[in-house]
Amino acid sequence: MQNARAVIDLRSDTVTRPTDAMRAAIAAAAVGDEQQREDPTVNLLQERAATLLGHERALFLPTATMANQIALRLHGRPGDVLVAEELSHVLVYEFGGAALHAGLVTVGLRGSYGRIRGEQVRSVAARSAYDVDQRPAVLALEDTHNSAGGTVWPLDELDDVVAAAREAGMAVHLDGARLLNAAVAQGLAPSEIARRCDTVTLCLSKGLGCPLGAVLAGSEALIERAWREKHLFGGAMRQAGIVAAAGLHALDHHVDRLADDNARARRLAEAWHAAGVPIDLESVQTNFVQIDLAPLGLGRDEALERVRAAGVALSATIHETRVRAVTHLDVDDDDVERAIACVPAALGARASR
């Protein structure tokens, strides 16, 4: 009978579909020409997002990738250096965007749980002794950090690295695609984190459950420039309130519930760990659980196939021996209990390990 049940889809929090209430909000949205800044729903979302993130202004965009890429163009000139943790989204999942769109040279720094330290940034900056040298212009940070397994930045570490960037005259961009998962996990207002950086990206189509969309927040002057960049990317839209309505609905109804996603990931991680599934519990800080297959002697594809046959979809990560589970709006406690029951056996884990 098990096959009659739907697969529990833990591949990513991007797989969520709009709820009925979100679809109703979409249907009821007041709209106008966004490119003329006349879409009332887009305008409202931008105001809400700016306040939420502690910045003067925010800009609605189709994707967080575009938001990041626009931010890089705001902060760097061709030939300048972008510094980021080596496995950050902006370096590995946006392909050569930093080079293609902004002409930036990239320097990737080895992080711990996705976090780099001020002294690492200082040592990159120290390479340019003269004003005419290649200039480190942008520091991009990621919170939560995707490749590291959804890890968060403690504020003191964030302050340390941001201070180092400031000393070096660098702008700081925060890729906060999942910033709200971090804020909820830390019990902080999102603005408390985001206001420390010059610009911040927030993705609406991950844990927030929207079909698409993102915002970029920053100062009045930067966001005014971002409007032009958005147009250059072909991202200027028309009655985009149809989508922005989903974003407003999510900010009203899907933020506090991220605590449920975080708690479910924790429950999964602890139960799997107790059943002998190799998991670094310290990395489980929000809605991701990374499983290390190496001690199980399993290949990635084989592991994914085995759990799929047991009714659970996990996904690959950038790490060759790790797969991940991600909790989200369309996963409930019952799904979590079923995944706890079947995944350890499917992976051949033994509690006595």
Ligand X SMILES: *Cc1c(COP(=O)(O)O)cnc(C)c1O
Give the binding site for ligand X (CB under 6 A): 63-65, 68, 89, 142, 146, 175, 177, 203, 205-206, 214
Residue nearest to ligand X (CB): 64
Torsions phi, psi of 59, nearest 5? -125, 130
CB of 269 to ligand X, least distance (A): 19
CB of 213 to ligand X, least distance (A): 8
Half-sphere exposure in the Cβ direction for 180 (13 Å, CA): 27
Nearest Cα neighbor of 6 from 339, 260, 325 is 339
CB of 146 to ligand X, least distance (A): 4
Given the complex with ligand X, which of 64 and 185 has the nearer CB atom? 64
Nearest Cα neighbor of 282 from 88, 116, 113 is 113
List of E strands, the chain: 8-9, 57-61, 81-85, 105-109, 136-142, 171-175, 199-203, 214-218, 288-292, 312-313, 315-316, 322-326
Q: How far is Cα 169 from Cα 163, in angstroms, rounded to an integer?
A: 10
Given the complex with ligand X, which of 146 and 151 has the nearer CB atom? 146
Given the complex with ligand X, which of 196 and 206 has the nearer CB atom? 206
Q: Give the other-Cβ count within 10 Å of 90's Cβ.
A: 25
CB of 205 to ligand X, least distance (A): 5
> Any idea which residue has 């590995």 for tokens?
92
Given the complex with ligand X, which of 203 and 245 has the nearer CB atom? 203
Given the complex with ligand X, which of 81 and 182 has the nearer CB atom? 182
CB of 324 to ligand X, least distance (A): 12
